[in-house]
Amino acid sequence: ENISYAQAEDILETIENIEGVKSVEFDDTEHHFNSAAALFSVTFDGTNNDDISIKAYHEIKDTLKDYDLRTRSDVGNPLKAIINGEMLIVDIIAVVIVISVLLLTSQTYAEIPVLLITFGAAAILNMGTNYLMGEISFITDSIAIVLQLALAIDYAIILCHRFQEERQDKEA
């Protein structure tokens, strides 16, 4: 904020010359350049966690420190690490709950390792297809195992109980 159109064009050139910046767009439409405020969209050479992108992001912030600046970027954002750390705790709690539910609902203890192996294989396959299909959001990646586990345990318990019912009917 608080810049003229000429200053915005100068800033555009300055940002373009920063190492690690792939491209910069300056939106000069009246929706995005009004009241002496300018919108810049910056694309970095690397990914969100690459050192070159993080360095370029900090250099842009240092370059524009004399202006009223608002940024929104995933570059150098620790949110992914925080969510992954918290999801690890959620995953551990979910596994404990699943094992408890299996212990309470299974008619034989032999079902439990078979079901756990099945759940593990399903989760690994699901994660593998996510990587084969291309990049997915880190939020989807972090909750995929819990969702897979929740869906799989429901079907597995129903299937095991139905199998036991049919088995009892055939023996009678």
Choose the weakest-confidence range: 64-68, 77-81, 158-162. Answer: 77-81
CA 67, distance to chain mean position in Å, is: 32
Cβ–Cβ < 8 Å for 14, 79? no
The residue among 148, 150, 147, 153 whose CA lies nearest residue 112 is: 153
Contacts of 127 (CB under 8 A, 6+ apart): 141, 144, 145
Q: Can you tell me the mean pLDDT for 32-44?
A: 79
Q: What is the mean pLDDT of the chain?
A: 82
Say whether pLDDT at 165 is over 80.
Answer: yes
Joined together, the tokens standing for residue 93 give 């709690």
pLDDT of 1: 60
Alpha-carbon separation of residue 99 from 45, 111, 112, 113 (angstroms): 45, 11, 8, 10
Q: What is the pTM of this model?
A: 0.53
* Spatial separation of the C-alpha atoms in residues 35 and 25, rounded to whole Å: 19
Please report how many Cα atoms fall inside a 13 Å half-sphere around the Cα of residue 167, on the Cβ side.
7
